Structure 1
Amino acid sequence: MENSSVVTDFILLGMTDNPQLEILLFGVFLIVYIVTLLGNLGLVVLIRLSSRLHTPMYFFLSNLSFLDVCFSSITIPKTLANLLSKLKDVSFLGCVTQMGLFIVFASAECNFLASMAYDRYTAICHPLLYHITMTRVRCLLLVAGCYLGGLVNMVAVMTSITQLSFCQPRILPHFFCDIPPLLALACSDPWDTQILVAGCGGFTLVTSIVVILASYMFILLTILGIPSASGKQKAFSTCASHLTAVGLYYGTTMYTYLLPSRRGSQTGNQMVSVFYTMVIPMLNPLIYSLRNQEVKVALQKILRHSS
Structure 2
Amino acid sequence: MQIETLKIFCDLAETQSFSQAAERNFVTQSAVSQQVRGLEERFKRRLLERVRGRREVRLTDAGQAFYEESRNVLAAYAQLQERLRALEGNVGGTVRVATVYSIGLHELPPAVRRFMALYPSAKIDLEYSRTTRIVRDVLSGAVELGVLAYPEKRRGLDVVLLPGDRLVLICPPSHPLASRRQVRAAELQGQDFVLFERDIPTRRATDRILKSHGVTVRRVAEFDNIETIKRAVEVGFGSAIVPRPSVIDEQNRGQLAVVALAGPEWTRSVGIIHRSDRQPTAAARKFIELLQGSDK
Tell me the TM-score range normalised by the shorter chain: under 0.3
Report the TM-score when normalising by structure 2.
0.24
Report the TM-score when normalising by structure 1.
0.24
Q: Greater CA radius of gyration, 1 or 2?
A: 2
Higher relative contact order (CA 8 A, sep 6+): 1
